[in-house]
Structure 1
Amino acid sequence: MTELKHGEHGETEPLTADEIRQLSPEEAMLAGSEADGVHIVHRRDRFPVRGTKAEKRAERGVAACFAISALAGFGFIVAFIALPYKWHLPGTPQNFRFYTPALGGLLAVMLLFIGIGMVLWAKWLMPEEEAVQDRHDEPSTEEDKLLTEATLLVGLEDTGLPRRSLILRTLGLAGGALATVPLVAIVGAMIKKPGTQLLHTMFEPNKTLFPPNGHVPLVFENFRRVGPDDIEPGGLVTVFPGVREKVNGYDGVTSASSPTLLIRLRPGQKVKARKGQAGFGYPSDNPEFLAFSKICTHAGCPASLYEQQTSRLLCPCHQSQFEVLSDAKPVFGPASRSLPKLPLGVEVGEDGRQYFVALSDYKEAIGPAFWERP
């Protein structure tokens, strides 16, 4: 180890700039550490003899981690573009449910293996070192700057990057994936304009499918129509628009905006309707049945836990509560907007039974805080 100069009485003296320039980077780094109050207690190169089989194995292990990270990032981009994501009812192909887990899993693998690669790089390839540092607040001199420069050069040499092209290339791939994945997720979601699709659901009247008035029937997930006798007093069911769309050869609902809660009030319960929505329940003059969007107006979770004793709907994600007898007005939690209400009606089917229909689409937008505009 190169030490600082010693004066006549044994005290250390700082090296001059010319003397520093005469030192090798390793010697200057050690001298700079001592000058800066960093005492290197132990320093050992993991592979004093360069190019051994053991070093090559370690290098390939680190590079493999970076390569896996890069492949996971590439897989994320492919999954984001190619995997099906559009929701539709049970009974039709449910492969859309793998979309979010696939993205999350690939992102986790990408971050995990770039982290593992960094740790193994430090443990397997970089020199082993122990140091003790003194604290001081003096400003840096020109000599300090030269010594710091030497320290950085030796640090770069310790990483082995100048001579480990395999690690350098795989690290570049992993770093490129790490930088590209967020851009793909952010920009990719904005390429296609939503148009007016956020303002409508599949309950919008359709005279072509349901002549003559176009009222869309309410159905269970198996497409069986829902009637007043299907719900007990105080009960709740999830219903969907009876609109079939072709999906990979199957018929089903393909809009995640459409799940609706159909509630039957208990005897004696009265509704305090919001302005303009007094006739939305069934019967319209003294409603016993109410229908609300199942999508919480806070973050889009399913608000489907119903306490018939308190007439409150609970969203399990963030504990927002909605008072059903006040037209699903939020009374607790982060939600600040009432659940949209679906206008209900009843029509007689071919079998002579009564079945629920939607008299119109929702009169307000479905969904979370996106719609909470000043």
Structure 2
Amino acid sequence: MTESKQDTPRDEHREQYPDQPSPEELRAMTPEDAMYAGAEADDIHIVHRRNRFPIRGTKAEKRAERGVAAAFAISALAGFGFIVAFIALPYKWHLPGTPQNFRFYTPALGGLLAIMLLFIGIGMVLWAKWLMPEEEVVQDRHDVPSSDQDKIMTEATLLVGLEDTGLPRRSLILRTLGLAGGALATVPLVAIVGAMLKRPGTQLLHTMFRPNKKLFGGQGLVPIVYSDWRRVSPDDIEPGGLTTVFPGVRTEDADGYDGVTSASSPTLIIRLRPGQKVKARKGQASFGWPPEAPEFVAFSKICTHAGCPASLYEQQTSRLLCPCHQSQFDVLRDAAPIFGPASRSLPKLPLGVEVGEDGRQYFVARSDYKEAIGPGFWERA
């Protein structure tokens, strides 16, 4: 009686993949031999492969390793320098004639960031050119689903690739790469989060129109000026006209600042035409000048939608137009929004006058704005 012989898994594999070693044979190979077998099985033909340093640990290899590590170390130092510069360098604008070291802030950050990215790239390139094996391969394209042995050979290829990088035995490169990678990950976080670490306090709620007894004595009322620092008189503005004005605040010390360059300062003074009357919001009826029958009114020039200059004035309709997104504000309704995306009235500045040394009347701000100026942030407040 003849017994039938049952095929083993190896025999079944031979029939299905006659040109590939079995999984058992692959597991018995070294990772490099399995990598070669995997390459051939995937129609990848290794034409040329040469280790840069066939004998490990030579002085030449150590020099190459130190060169790569030096590039990563420079990248890490530049990243650390970026963080220090971001925190420590002066960045606030100063008046001409006062220390101008703030101008180095942005170039320093940009230069250090460029050095960090440049040297981490140089390190990667030198690593591949100096330490990893030199290899030339040719691959044929094909569409075949992966078998079990394909997966084993791919795993072997990855293991050999990891060995080729030298990371398991090149701790110096691994440490410096970790430092450079840490700097690369930390720098964006510093730039994004760093500006939010300092509490703004109430600085967003005030402008330079706030009374300043230190500079002006008495009640400290701030004079209103043009951009060339001439004081603004009611006689300067024709009926139906308007002008852009600023707080006349200027200091000449090391931290010098002035109202003309302050982003929150631009203000419009509008002279109403005869017979026009403003329907004031609650509590603001006396903000114009003269208080009992306002002929002049002043509003922030900064649109409450996105911060553009709302300064296009239609005399016939008494509307202020913001050119960015076409928001319109009705001056006769205390600059209430009547069209466009703006949903909040332009803040109103309390006006007053004082007599100058030449006997003429000049505008002053009786107080700061009673509400925060500016765009969308305040919509959420």
Structure 2 unaligned blocks of 5 or more: 1-10
| Alpha-carbon offset, residue 30 of structure 1 | 2.4
Q: Give aligned-pair identity as a percent.
A: 61
Instruction: Indicate conservation of the 8 Å contact 1:219/1:239, yes or no.
Output: yes
2:233 aligned partner: 227
The AA in structure 2 aligned to 1:312 is L
Q: Does 1:261 align with 2:270?
A: no
2:300 aligned partner: 292
Q: Aligned match of 2:349 in 342, 346, 349? A: 342
Q: Aligned match of 2:49 in 44, 47, 50? A: 44
Q: CA RMSD in A?
A: 4.4
TM-score normalised to the size of structure 1?
0.73
The AA in structure 1 aligned to 2:166 is G
SS of residue in 2 equivalent to 1:189: helix
Q: 1:20 to 1:228 in 2, by over 3 A?
A: farther
Cα deviation digits, residues 102-129 of structure 1 (max 9, x gap): 4344334433443454355445654444
Q: Distance in 2 between matches of 1:196 and 1:347?
A: 29
Instruction: Indicate conservation of the 8 Å contact 1:349/1:355, yes or no.
Output: yes
Instruction: Indicate conservation of the 8 Å contact 1:58/1:124, yes or no.
Output: yes
Q: Does 1:16 align with 2:23?
A: yes
Cα deviation digits, residues 159-195 of structure 1 (max 9, x gap): 2334555543432221121122233334433443333
Q: Aligned match of 1:312 in 317, 321, 327? A: 321
| Alpha-carbon offset, residue 84 of structure 1 | 1.7
TM-score normalised to the size of structure 2?
0.72
Q: Distance in 2 between matches of 1:97 and 1:339?
A: 34
SS of residue in 1 equivalent to 2:380: coil
How many residues align? The count is 358
Q: Distance in 2 between matches of 1:67 and 1:148?
A: 33
Q: Distance in 1 between matches of 2:288 and 2:140?
A: 76
SS of residue in 2 equivalent to 1:213: coil
| Alpha-carbon offset, residue 292 of structure 1 | 1.0
> Which of structures 1 and 2 has the bigger CA Rg?
2
Q: Distance in 1 between matches of 2:63 and 2:230?
A: 63
| Alpha-carbon offset, residue 211 of structure 1 | 4.5
Q: 1:204 to 1:29 in 2, by over 3 A?
A: same
Q: Distance in 2 between matches of 1:53 and 1:238?
A: 73
Instruction: Indicate conservation of the 8 Å contact 1:262/1:292, yes or no.
Output: yes
Structure 1 unaligned blocks of 5 or more: none
Instruction: Indicate conservation of the 8 Å contact 2:95/2:252, yes or no.
Output: no
Q: Distance in 2 between matches of 1:356 and 1:196?
A: 26
Q: 1:34 to 1:177 in 2, by over 3 A?
A: same
Superposed counterparts of 1:2-81, under 5 Å? 7=14, 11-17=18-24, 19-35=25-41, 37=42, 39-40=44-45, 42-45=47-50, 47=52, 49=54, 62-81=68-87
Q: Distance in 2 between matches of 1:9 and 1:145?
A: 16
